[in-house]
Chains A and B, each alone.
Chain A
């Protein structure tokens, strides 16, 4: 009798255990998160292990190299593909993805879960989450704050002989440049110089033609010189703003920097090429998105005390802006696992997870993280990152952003790299191209 009872109890126990396992399997889902293939993505894989442990959901990752990222992911969205449940997409995609119903609108979810956009850096909310811009209509949650900034060879700058020579030539200390003119002076000073028996150059800047490189680079000079995308009082009025005399000066300044101070053959360079030029000890200055800074800081050749970081310098009238990078995380409308994907965003929004995200190398956009009194001193690049995030501007996020971007890529490359026409011609042409795109879009 006892053995019968024992057997029955064991069978019941096994049944309950199997049922519980099956139930938990039934709830668990395989989620795929799509992003670019870069260092922060590896940090996210590490971070997401916590989500897997807590939710029981299994995370899969689809990371695409930057040059193919937009092509691959926009094809996926446009075709209604179900590859990605979550997508950390570029800020420019928001308009198109929102208007074409490719992202899930997150307002109700944010309200229900108590996620407040006021808790994030304002620029990242506008840049990565809102469409239309400056309206409380959210299609993503800021996931990775990024902006163009500069890295410099602190060890070269601090050499007494170079300090003395620079002071004699320019009448000021060889230090972090405050303006674009100062930056060009420094770059010119290092161009072709012999340092430790090696010929070095001034600055690695963005000149890439194929995707978005030269636009993301030239805009830094243009913004700080006075370029505006449109009349702030009359949307889509471009003449006199895109091609204003100040904007022309900004583009001329960028070309000046390209002509005087880049390494030979630096005519099609974007993030990777700039990092390579800097890490190999070729250049004194490097323009790049701030996501590269943790890698620079950890590098055996140029890391630690050898490098310093600073925000994009100001223009002649003191205006100081920098090109926004970074991305928000969205739920793909075609996904069958929207609930689980939203669970991931809910988990990711937690302050302790965001804190861990920053520690692993991801730039959190949560104010609780970046406004923490210890944040600025947590890494040598933390303060310059914050300073840079305070001066951001972003490219068009219109649904037709790709046509707008292709036009600026062509016009800027034609002038800056291929020496065709003048800066005025380039910006007049750009205004004309952009107007044609907006006309085609029915904006006039």
Chain B
């Protein structure tokens, strides 16, 4: 694979340039250009991954440099997979993942569909809608903790105004039943525009001639939507789900800022749980095993998903 790529690059290199560099073939020059990227990739991606896998079979703690490092076999993996707290954080992650994706796809697609219509101020609205995703997650988390504040928060005020309840009678981030939804709402607010942009790209890629042909065949708008729009936007939607799924599986900063994983451990996602093990408890070997499990999970699910995506694209 790599060789064929290099050969392609080499064959595309103008002979005049290669000839000017004495003693080097086109192929060598191609390697010269590609080598730094390969070295960098090995240094910052592949090597740490292999090192993490190695550490996952040990009791290594980075804060105990004097302690002997012992090989513990699969003990770290067994401890993780039989730990109720970790399964609880997996559940919290699944809840967050599923609901954010469902809401972002539904709202994002709807917004894209509306924005795609020609109307006055179309570009201005697109810009306004896209603004939240340009902010830093830490800033958004901090900002929403104020909005959710029971006494002065706008969110509670609006809910209180609409329901007639005292705004300070409930707290989105202090209640075990509301806190998981509090983080879903914020993530949806922040990242729906991203899904919208991808859907918009999909909608704008559909040639208008297809709709014109459907009009000629007297297909209803509803039928056009289900038989033209949805199938042609579906690969884009699936791509958006893939991106959001991977991003939200490793969600950290927004949730730490909003709830810190609480109340209790209700919103403690796997990434927060992993950070506590690695950089607060300093259980490096254990945390490495945890990271490997998460990596395999995301990689496995993403691979299956990408296969499905390719099938949809080939249809």
A pairs with B:
yes
Name A210's closest neighbour in chain B (CB-CB).
B260
In the complex the two chains form, is A420's CB within 8 Å of B176's CB? yes
The reply on B264 being an interface residue by CB < 8 A is: yes
Extra A-B contacts (16), CB below 8 Å, given A99-B66, A265-B173 = A78-B65, A264-B151, A264-B169, A265-B174, A266-B174, A267-B171, A267-B262, A268-B174, A268-B262, A399-B64, A410-B264, A410-B265, A413-B262, A414-B265, A417-B264, A420-B264
In the complex the two chains form, is B171's CB within 8 Å of A265's CB? yes
The CA of A78 and the CA of B282, in the complex, are separated in Å by 10
Which of the candidate stretches B114-122, B219-227, B273-281 sits at the interface with the other chain?
Answer: B273-281
Residues of B within 8 A of A62 (CB): none
In the complex the two chains form, is A418's CB within 8 Å of B151's CB? no
The reply on A350 being an interface residue by CB < 8 A is: no
Name A78's closest neighbour in chain B (CB-CB).
B63
State which of A75, A267, A399, A400 has its C-beta within 8 Å of the C-beta of B173: A267
- What are the interface flags for A73-107 relative to B under an 8 Å C-beta threshold, 1 for contact and 0 otherwise? 01101101000000000000000100111000000
* Nearest CB on B from A265, distance (A): 4
The reply on A355 being an interface residue by CB < 8 A is: no
- What are the interface flags for B255-279 relative to A under an 8 Å C-beta threshold, 1 for contact and 0 otherwise? 0100111111110000000001001
In the complex the two chains form, is B151's CB within 8 Å of A265's CB? yes
Residues of B within 8 A of A267 (CB): 171, 173-174, 262-263
The reply on A419 being an interface residue by CB < 8 A is: yes
State which of A71, A208, A210, A414 has its C-beta within 8 Å of the C-beta of B279: A71
User: Are A419 and B176 also in contact (CB < 8 A) when A210-B256, A264-B150 are?
Assistant: yes
The CA of A71 and the CA of B279, in the complex, are separated in Å by 7
* Nearest CB on A from B62, distance (A): 5
Residues of B within 8 A of A96 (CB): 63-64
User: Are A263 and B263 also in contact (CB < 8 A) when A71-B280, A75-B279 are?
Assistant: no
Name A413's closest neighbour in chain B (CB-CB).
B264
**Would you give 24 A-B contacts (Cβ < 8 Å), ordered by A?**
A78-B65, A96-B63, A101-B65, A209-B260, A209-B261, A209-B263, A209-B264, A210-B262, A264-B171, A264-B174, A265-B149, A265-B174, A268-B173, A268-B259, A268-B260, A400-B281, A403-B281, A406-B280, A406-B281, A410-B264, A410-B265, A417-B263, A417-B264, A420-B264
Residues of B within 8 A of A71 (CB): 279-280
The reply on A402 being an interface residue by CB < 8 A is: yes
The CA of A100 and the CA of B266, in the complex, are separated in Å by 35
Residues of A within 8 A of B62 (CB): 78
The CA of A206 and the CA of B168, in the complex, are separated in Å by 20
- What are the interface flags for B228-266 relative to A under an 8 Å C-beta threshold, 1 for contact and 0 otherwise? 000000000000000000000000000010011111111
In the complex the two chains form, is B283's CB within 8 Å of A403's CB? yes
* Nearest CB on B from A402, distance (A): 5
Of the four ranges (under 10, 10 to 19, 20 to 34, 35 or more), the interface on chain A belongs to: 20 to 34
User: Are A100 and B171 also in contact (CB < 8 A) when A403-B281, A417-B262 are?
Assistant: no
Residues of A within 8 A of B169 (CB): 264
Residues of A within 8 A of B64 (CB): 96, 99-100, 399
* Nearest CB on B from A237, distance (A): 23
Residues of A within 8 A of B171 (CB): 264-265, 267
Indicate the member of B151, B261, B263 with the most A CB atoms within 10 Å: B263
In the complex the two chains form, is A101's CB within 8 Å of B174's CB? no
The CA of A123 and the CA of B262, in the complex, are separated in Å by 33
* Nearest CB on A from B238, distance (A): 36
Name B283's closest neighbour in chain A (CB-CB).
A403
- What are the interface flags for A233-264 relative to B under an 8 Å C-beta threshold, 1 for contact and 0 otherwise? 00000000000000000000000000000011
In the complex the two chains form, is A74's CB within 8 Å of B263's CB? no
Residues of B within 8 A of A419 (CB): 176
Name A414's closest neighbour in chain B (CB-CB).
B264
State which of B63, B168, B279 has its C-beta within 8 Å of the C-beta of A264: B168
The CA of A263 and the CA of B149, in the complex, are separated in Å by 11
The CA of A268 and the CA of B63, in the complex, are separated in Å by 28
Residues of B within 8 A of A410 (CB): 85, 264-265
Name B170's closest neighbour in chain A (CB-CB).
A264
In the complex the two chains form, is A100's CB within 8 Å of B66's CB? yes
Residues of A within 8 A of B276 (CB): 406
Residues of B within 8 A of A80 (CB): 65
Name B266's closest neighbour in chain A (CB-CB).
A418
The CA of A266 and the CA of B149, in the complex, are separated in Å by 9
In the complex the two chains form, is A208's CB within 8 Å of B260's CB? yes
Residues of A within 8 A of B260 (CB): 208-210, 268
The CA of A179 and the CA of B144, in the complex, are separated in Å by 38
Residues of B within 8 A of A263 (CB): 151
Residues of B within 8 A of A265 (CB): 148-151, 168, 171, 173-174
